[in-house]
Amino acid sequence: MHRGRHGRRGTALSPLLAGFTWLLLFQCAGEALVRLAGWPVPGPVAGMALLFVALLVRRPTPESLSVAADGLARHLSLLFVPAGVGVMLHVARVADEWLPIAVALTVSTVLAIAATALTFQWLARRQEGSESERRG
């Protein structure tokens, strides 16, 4: 009988496959939670929140999740292909409703930039405070 890397029977999962498995399990858990609770939130968003809480509780981040996240981040541009195809498929509708789309994109971009700037300022102040406590 074949033994995997860790001496167990069978083959061990690669870190990438294990990480994707965890991501999909949290996505499914979020989907189930949203459907059971009747929340108006996408299931994957709830799953991401569950994963965030789990990572806060369990330190450090498991290697398999880091490997999967790095792999997804490296190929992030590929995830925009389906959205681009969808836009091209419905180009007539986009042309008819260009003004609300442009306003929504502009407002959401400004809000995202503002939230990022405020978060950065808060983290910078927090870091300065912890450095001054260590010195003083």
User: Over the stretch 42-77, which tens digit does the pLDDT of each residue have?
Assistant: 999 999 999 999 999 988 989 999 999 999 999 989
Name the DSSP class of 3.
B
Residue with tokens 């059971």: 36
* pLDDT, tens digit, 9 for 90 and up, residues 27-45: 999 999 999 999 999 999 9
Whether omega before 44 lies within 30 degrees of 0, making that bond cis, reads: no
Q: At 39, is the secondary structure helix, strand, or coil?
A: coil
The CA distances from residue 88 to 41, 82, 83, 104, 105, in Å, are 26, 10, 9, 19, 17
Q: Is 9's pLDDT higher than 50? A: yes
Per the rule left: phi > 0, alpha: psi between -120 and 50, beta: everything else, 100 is: alpha
Instruction: Please tell me the predicted confidence (pLDDT) of residue 2.
Output: 46
- pTM assigned to the model: 0.58
Confidence grade of residue 129 (pLDDT, cut at 50, 70, 90): confident
Instruction: Please tell me the predicted confidence (pLDDT) of residue 130.
Output: 78
Q: Look at 111 and 4; give whichever has higher pLDDT.
A: 111
CA nearest 67: which of 22, 98, 108, 27? 22
- 79-108: average pLDDT: 93
Q: Is 1's pLDDT higher than 50? A: no
Per the rule left: phi > 0, alpha: psi between -120 and 50, beta: everything else, 7 is: left
- 92-115: average pLDDT: 96
Q: Is 19's pLDDT higher than 50? A: yes
